[in-house]
Structure 1
């Protein structure tokens, strides 16, 4: 059989979205993505004087995953990310801590030999997936926003070699992804990374018998719990609760011992904090991996 390539996209995660493809457990698929502007911002003269979240951050998909049911975990292995040779970084109106003093500007950026050419600097690229998730249990969430379904998490650790665990909330999961960045700093301060189109190869499997409340990410070095909320303390608490629950189950500890351990070993990191803007603040809490105590076991996947 040939490789499944997904090209259709939508602007929201929703159970009512019609699946554009179907996958069985263990399938590998390629997602061709638009940039966050759907190709509308290309040159210096294309300015983001306004930003419409109804037509932002298109996610390629959704894909209906056979056997995925609410309460399961969808396991997404990021096998490869390939980006175009040119992207853009822009300031967005009213977005980011310095937005009140900055002009609206678009900078096209070329990529040559794996380096982004920004003014007189060469910045090594580190491609990542900004938008990735499943359909929420109720209603719809525009692709520019995060939630416990995933969505616009803008976590720069979601890159080649990482494994993302998503809580399935509707039959078939309805998985989609988009909003690639060739490179982005934690916080995405001005509201954009190096926005770019490209392709992502993923392997999808369904894990039963375990559950999570928020997306969980596995990298070669750490486990991360990712959560979002309007205010930092709320996002921090949600991510901490998810990490604590995982540690308690995997290590056999009570809540307080897990909390004490997290204070010794877990790092709090910011995925996106480009306030003031409409998008919730996104926090990740990372805990070092132990080969003998996986926080999520894939032996059943």
Structure 2
């Protein structure tokens, strides 16, 4: 099934487009973070309607998803259009005072993005993915415990995203695809593209996580956000510590020592100054199939 309705908030009040069962697959058709408002190099970010930034497709209601469960999003495939947009933004990023506002339309052909005289291999990723928060509405341009605008380049084909359920049905939304993006996204945009995301949905009953988790082929990551790096790191470290305690059977201090030996802290979204919180991920390598940080009964 393919869905293509766009919303601009994560909210328990958003009406679902469809209802699905555990095990179902869904294709999310997305538009770019500018709602496809930019179509030439002459247009600047100042020309667009800011109320239509960071659209996400959805929401999707997952039957039997209840508060305290985890919605599991297996990313089967991501396809992107034949062009994308990168733009500098006013008063966002460390060099905004030294650079002009500028837009570049970038051609994409056979998995290559053509930037000036360089050929960049694309790695399509999902910038916005999440469930509804418990009560208030949160704009799709902002991250949080519900997921949202995490701008994390490891959320790509083959990854699995674990999201805590805050409201019945979960209400999954996906959008803001990037064909190319560096960690930190320093100017505030990646190569923003329209496209399609194919996912298969699973459900884990009564397994508490406080922040989104991402599983890749070789690592587990906790993704957190805050206005301050130290606070975001504290959140991620606490979640990872608890997961490792339960999976490995070690005490808190041994886990802490191990995290310092094997844990990698990476910045997903860090284009400061910016009103959007800094987003980081804390990753731990997989050691064997028996030591899973998240499991189902």
TM superposition score normalised by structure 1: 0.97
Q: Which of the numbers 196, 208, 212 marks the counterpart of 2:205?
A: 208
Is contact 1:227-1:235 (8 Å) kept? yes
- The aligned counterpart of 2:60 is 63
Q: Does 1:45 align with 2:42?
A: yes
1:67 touches 1:172 (CA, 8 Å); kept in 2? yes
Report the Cα offset of residue 49 of structure 1: 2.4
Cα distance in 2, alignment partners of residues 169 and 53 from structure 1: 28
Is the partner of 2:46 in helix, strand or coil? Answer: coil
Q: For residue 255 of structure 1, report the CA deviation from its aligned partner.
A: 1.2
The aligned runs of 1:263-274 (5 Å cut-off) are: 263-274=260-271
Residue 171 of structure 1 corresponds to which residue in structure 2? 168
- Equivalent residue number for residue 102 of structure 2: 105
Give, in angstroms, the shift of residue 53 of structure 1: 5.3
Q: Deviation per CA, 1:75-116: give whole Å up to 9, x if none.
A: 000000000000010001111111111100000000111100
Partner of 1:296: 294
Q: State the match for 1:280 in structure 2.
A: 277
**Deviation at 1:195?**
0.1
For residue 51 of structure 1, report the CA deviation from its aligned partner: 7.1
Q: Is the 8 A contact 2:222 2:236 kept in 1?
A: yes
SS in 2 for 1:206: strand
Say if 2:34 and 2:48, in contact at 8 Å, map to a contact too.
Answer: no
Deviates more, 1:56-65 or 1:251-260: 251-260
Alpha-carbon displacement from aligned partner over 1:220-254 (angstroms, at most 9, x marks no partner): 01000000000111011111111111101101111
Offset, 1:275: 0.7
Number of residue pairs the alignment of both structures matches: 296
Query: In 2, distance between residues paired with 1:76 and 1:253?
Result: 29
Q: Does 1:132 align with 2:117?
A: no
How well do the aligned residues superpose, as a CA RMSD in angstroms?
A: 1.0
* C-alpha distance in structure 2 between counterparts of 1:164 and 1:52, whole Å: 31
1:292 positional shift: 2.0
In structure 2, the residue corresponding to 1:100 is in which secondary structure? coil
Instruction: Give the match for residue 214 of structure 2.
Output: 217
Shift of residue 211, structure 1, vs aligned partner: 1.1
Name the structure 1 match of 2:80: 83
For residues 209 and 20 of structure 1, what CA distance do their matches in structure 2 show?
A: 25
| CA–CA separation in structure 1 for the residues paired with 2:213 and 2:201 | 15
Q: Distance in 2 between matches of 1:119 and 1:72?
A: 47
Q: What corresponds to 1:233 in structure 2?
A: 230
Aligned to 1:96: 93
The 3-state SS of whatever aligns with 2:97 is helix
Using structure 2 for the length normalisation, give the TM-score. 0.98
1:198 aligns with 195
Contact 1:51-1:92 at 8 Å conserved across structures? no
Aligned mate of 1:246, from 243, 257, 261: 243
User: Which residue in the other structure is 2:113 paired with?
Assistant: 116
Unaligned ranges ≥5, structure 2: none
Alignment-derived partner of residue 186 in structure 2: 189
Deviation at 1:177, TM superposition (A): 0.3
